[in-house]
Structure 1
């Protein structure tokens, strides 16, 4: 059974355009590919917290040598990184805030980027461990055009996903949506429904 992990990162809920587009894509993937979905809402999930000194030191300490404080500090990261690594495909719903990703998504990425789980260090440098997986990245912006010098979302998401071994990335761009939100939203929904899924 194939698993799809959906990651929402908007602080908005019902009014979030990235969430609305992710709903359309998730339904299509479940219906046409047969994915079983799980969900993380990284802006509101209690597991998504900034690290502390214990968590940072625990990342570089073998589990059997970790103190009680260190084990507690990385418990959330252990859960999230294992969940991420076990999924077959991903939907990232990524609104642009101040030219980059939201704080919730950055905190989540920091928690799941784990040596020995999502990547490893080799003689040739870091190597991603999550090869053969598929990522769909929905990017919404209010007025910023993607692909310009002030777009720090597209490149960041590509770099992170490649870093953990995910190179099969489908970007679904919904930029400058506030120029005509209804029209652009409908256009992107149509594009999603016309995607040829692999």
Structure 2
């Protein structure tokens, strides 16, 4: 069995459109792609929190030179980054807040973007270590049109995933839901149903 890692990044639970669409896509991936799912919820997971000076310095300190405080400071990051690297497929549910990703998702990405785990430094610059993996990114917006000059989500997610070596990215766009939520939700579900899952 392959491992699907689902990351929810909306603070809303019951009324989140990104979560509803992720439910549909998760079921399809599990049924057709021979996956089991591990879930992370960036607003309701105790491991996901902002770092501090101890954690930042620990990232750049060799393991055998880290203080006990530094080791403790990056315990959660080690767990999350290793879990992320071990997955085969990714499902990101990404609502746009104020033209970008939510604060919770940014905190999560800061915790999993780890040298030696998800990327490495080389003489030619950083190199992603997660090549050959697949990512699905569901993006929802209230009124912003994706692909415009004020869409700072699509490019950011592409840049981050490419940075860690993931170039096979499938975007499911559900933008401007405040205009006609029912139709946009229906269209996004239809787009998910037409996806070919491997």
Category of TM-score, reference length = shorter chain: over 0.9
Partner of residue 150, structure 2: 150
Give yes or no for the alignment of 1:77 onto 2:77. Answer: yes
Question: How far apart, CA to CA, are the structure 2 residues paired with 1:97 and 1:123?
Answer: 37
Question: How far apart, CA to CA, are the structure 2 residues paired with 1:13 and 1:126?
Answer: 36
Report the CA distance between 1:139 and its aligned residue: 0.1
**Where does 1:125-164 land on structure 2 (aligned, <5 Å)?**
125-164=125-164
Question: How far apart, CA to CA, are the structure 2 residues paired with 1:196 and 1:4?
Answer: 16
TM-score computed with the length of structure 2 as normaliser:
0.99
Partner of residue 48, structure 1: 48
Which segments of 5 or more consecutive residues in structure 1 lack a partner in the other structure? none
Which segments of 5 or more consecutive residues in structure 2 lack a partner in the other structure? none
Question: How far apart, CA to CA, are the structure 1 residues paired with 2:146 and 2:187?
Answer: 16
Report the CA distance between 1:194 and its aligned residue: 1.4
Question: How far apart, CA to CA, are the structure 2 residues paired with 1:146 and 1:84?
Answer: 26
Partner of residue 28, structure 2: 28
Question: How far apart, CA to CA, are the structure 2 residues paired with 1:113 and 1:39?
Answer: 18
Q: Secondary structure at the match of 1:146?
A: coil
Partner of residue 118, structure 1: 118
Question: How far apart, CA to CA, are the structure 2 residues paired with 1:60 and 1:156?
Answer: 24
Report the CA distance between 1:5 and its aligned residue: 0.1
Give yes or no for the alignment of 1:194 onto 2:194. Answer: yes
Question: How far apart, CA to CA, are the structure 2 residues paired with 1:2 and 1:143?
Answer: 36
TM-score computed with the length of structure 1 as normaliser:
0.99
Give yes or no for the alignment of 1:172 onto 2:172. Answer: yes
Cα offsets for 1:57-101 (capped at 9, x unmatched): 100111121111000100000000000000000000000000000
Give yes or no for the alignment of 1:97 onto 2:87. Answer: no
Q: Secondary structure at the match of 2:169?
A: strand
Report the CA distance between 1:49 and its aligned residue: 0.8
Cα offsets for 1:6-26 (capped at 9, x unmatched): 000000001000000000000
Q: How many residues align?
A: 198
Q: Secondary structure at the match of 1:179?
A: coil
Question: How far apart, CA to CA, are the structure 1 residues paired with 2:47 and 2:33?
Answer: 29
Q: Secondary structure at the match of 2:161?
A: helix
Q: Secondary structure at the match of 1:158?
A: helix
Name segments (4+ residues, structure 1) moved above 4 Å: none
Report the CA distance between 1:193 and its aligned residue: 1.0
Q: Secondary structure at the match of 1:50?
A: coil
Report the CA distance between 1:197 and its aligned residue: 1.6
